[in-house]
Chain A
Amino acid sequence: MPIIEVANVRKDFMIAKRETGMMGALKSLIKREYIKKEAVKDISFSINEGEIVGYIGPNGAGKSTTIKMLTGILVPSSGDVLVNGIVPYENRQENAKSIGVVFGQRSQLWWDLPTIESFELLKEIYQVSNQRYKKNMDTFTDILGLDEFLNTPVRQLSLGQRMRADIAASLLHDPPILFLDEPTIGLDVVAKEKMRTFIKEINHERKITVILTTHDMEDIEKLCERMILIDHGMKVYDGEIAMIKERFGKIRTLIVDLEESPRSIQLLGGEVCKEEGNRYWIKFNRDEVSASELIAQITKTHSVKDLTVEEPAIESIISRIYQEGYQPLKA
C-alpha cells in the first residue's frame, strides 16, 4: 500500500539573470531580467509502506526541491502530492506530525545547549507523552549510544554523534516516514557503517518508510532495494537496484597481469581499453563472450600471472546513465 504518492509534479522558479562588464553592472542597477528555471518537470512515483528508497541525482537535479514538496515546505507548481493520506502543503502542521526530517548538513538541535535539552524541547513541540518519550529515549540510547554525549552541548559533538542525535530527534514522535538528506555526509567509515545499521534497524523493526538522498553510492547499495534516479528535474530510472545492475552489468572488465608485454593482444569478443606496464584491462559483453572463453584465448598465446573479472560498481553505472540517458527496456 503506497504511503507516498507523487503524480505529475512540476516546480518552476524565477531566477535573476546576471549581467557582465562595467556597462552591464550599471544597467543591472536599474533593471534586472529573470529566467524561468524548471527545477522539477513532471515527476511521478509512489512509495510503499516500509520501503527504503534511495532518491538520487547530481547537484541541482531537483532532489531537494522534491523533498521540500513532500515535507510541505514548498508548494508544487502543478501535480499532486499525498503523504500518508495528507496533502503536505495544504496541511503542513498535520503532515509534520507524520514525518521525521534530517538534513545532514544542518542540525535541527539547539546548538548551545546540552543535547538532552533538545530532546526535551522537541518532546514539547511534538507533544510526545512522557511514556512514549521515555520508551523511545531508552531505545535510541540503546542502539545509538546517546548516553555518551547527552550532557554535552550540541556544538561540541563530533559529526557522527551529532548525526545520531539528529536522527533520534527526528524519530521521537514515532513518524511513519523518515526523510534523510545526506545522512552520512562527512562521516568516517566506522560512523557511516553504524549509521547504516541503525537506519536498517529502524526500518525493519518499526516499519518506518525511509526516503534517502545521498551522494554516497555505498549508502544506496547497502540500504536500498529500490532507487529513483533523477536528472535535470526528470525521473530517469525507478526500480530495483538489482535490475539496473543486471542490465548495465553486462559490460565487464577482465584485468590480466602478463609475464611479458606483447606487442598487441588480439581477442575475439574482447577489447583492450587500458594498459599499464604488464597489466591489461579488457572490456567484454557477457552476452557475447563468457569470461572463461576469453581467459582461454589469452592463456593460449600468453603466460598469465594473475587475473580478475570486475563487475561495474553502481556508481559507474549511474554516471553512465547520466551521460548516455536511460532507455527503458521494451517489454
Chain B
Amino acid sequence: MAAIKYVNLYFKLVSAGIRAQMQYRFAFIMRIIGLITAYTGTAVTMWVMLYQFQVLGSWNFFEMLFLYAVAILSWGFCVILFLHFRSLDTYILNGTFDRFLVRPINPFFHFMAMKFDMASFGQFIFSLIIFIWVSLELHIEWSSGKVLFLLASIIGGILIQGGMLVLISAIAFWTTKSQQFYWVVMYPARNLTNYPLVIYPKIVQWIAAFVVPFGFVNYFPAAVILEKGTPFFPESIGYFSPLVGLVFFIIAYCVWMLGLSRYKSTGS
C-alpha cells in the first residue's frame, strides 16, 4: 500500500480512537487531573528535597525543574502515540491480537494506530507552563536556534522512549509479558532520568548514554541549553539526540517485527 494511503488510514483510525475515548468523558478528565497531580507531586518532592540542600550535583531547583519538564514534554507525546504498546501482553493473552493479523495491513502500524491517548495533552500543557516559568526564572534567551534544537531533541526523546515501549512490548512475543517489563525497566528508568545523570555511578551514566539511551531524552539536551557541564561525556553529546532516537526506534521496530514472526511460530 502506498505511504499516502497509510497516512490517510492512520488519521482515520486515530480519529476513531479519539472518539472512542471521548465516550468516557469523566474518565478522561479524571485522567488529566491524575497526570497533572502525579507530575506536580514529583516537582514538589524535588522542591522539598532541595529546601535544605539547595543543589543536587550542582543542579539547583529550577534547573532540575527544567530537566524534568524536557522529560515529560517528550514523554507526553510518547504516551499519546505509544503507551498502549506496553499492554500488548493482554492483547496476546486474551486473543485480541489475532485481529491485527487477519487484516491486510502492517500489524505494527495497525496496533500503533489503534489508540491515541488525548488525555496526555494534559501533560503537554503542564510541561509547557513549567517551561515558561523556568525560562523566566533562569533568564534563558530563546534564540531560534535554541528553539529548533529543543524541538529536535524532543522528537529524539519521543523516538527513544517510544522505541523503548516498542522494545518492551516486543518482549511479550517471547514471554507473553510486557506490562511487567514496563514497570520493571521503563518506569524506574524514567524516574532515574528525572534527576541529573551526573549524580549516579559511572556505570549507570554509561548505560543511560549507550545502552538504554535515556540520557539523550533530557539530561544531555538540557545540559546544552542550560550550558551546564556533562562530566565524563563530551560537551556536544546533547546534539545527537535526534540521531540516537532515530537509530534506536528503527532497531526497536526491527526487534518487534522479529518478535512477531516468532509469535507466528509459537502462538501464545
Contacts and interface: CB of A to CB of B under 8 A. Distances in A.
Contacts of A120: 12
B139 interface: no
Contacts of B98: 68, 71, 73, 103
Contact of A74 (B95, B110, B264): B264
Nearest to A121: B16
Given A106-B95, A111-B20, A127-B5, A96 B12 contact: no
Interface string B240-268: 00000000000000000000010011110
Interface of B is mostly: helix
A121 B98 CA distance: 18
Nearest to B21: A112
A125 interface: yes
Interface in A203-239: none
Interface of A is mostly: mixed
Contact of A92 (B5, B23, B101): B101
A75 B263 CA distance: 9
Interface string A83-127: 000000100111011010101001010111100010011001111
Contact of A13 (B104, B105, B264, B267): B267
Contacts of B138: none
Contacts of B25: none
Contact of A72 (B13, B19, B20, B101): B101
B16 A73 contact: no
B102 interface: yes
A127 B96 CA distance: 22
Nearest to A112: B20
B266 A13 contact: yes
A126 to B, nearest CB: 6
Interface string B100-117: 011111100010000000
A68 B267 contact: yes
Interface in B81-131: 94-96, 98-99, 101-106, 110
A126 B104 contact: yes
A74 to B, nearest CB: 5
Contacts of B94: 106
B101 A71 contact: yes
Chain A contact patch, size range: 35 or more
A23 interface: no
Contact of A124 (B9, B102, B267): B9
Contacts of A153: 23
A92 B267 CA distance: 15
Interface in B208-260: none
14 contacts: A71-B102, A73-B101, A74-B264, A94-B104, A96-B102, A96-B104, A106-B96, A108-B102, A110-B16, A112-B19, A113-B20, A124-B9, A125-B9, A127-B104
Contact of A108 (B99, B106, B267): B99
A273 interface: no
A72 B267 contact: no
A73 B5 contact: no
Nearest to A72: B101
A13 B266 CA distance: 6
A29 interface: no
Interface in A53-68: 65, 68
B266 A121 contact: no
Most A C-beta atoms less than 10 A away, residue of B24, B95, B102:
B102
B266 A106 contact: no
A126 B103 contact: yes
A157 B136 CA distance: 54
A75 B210 CA distance: 36
Contacts of B101: 71-73, 92, 96
B102 A93 contact: no
A113 B104 contact: no
Given A113-B16, A124-B12, A99 B102 contact: yes
Interface in B1-55: 1, 5, 8-9, 12-13, 16, 19-21, 23-24
A296 to B, nearest CB: 58
A14 interface: yes
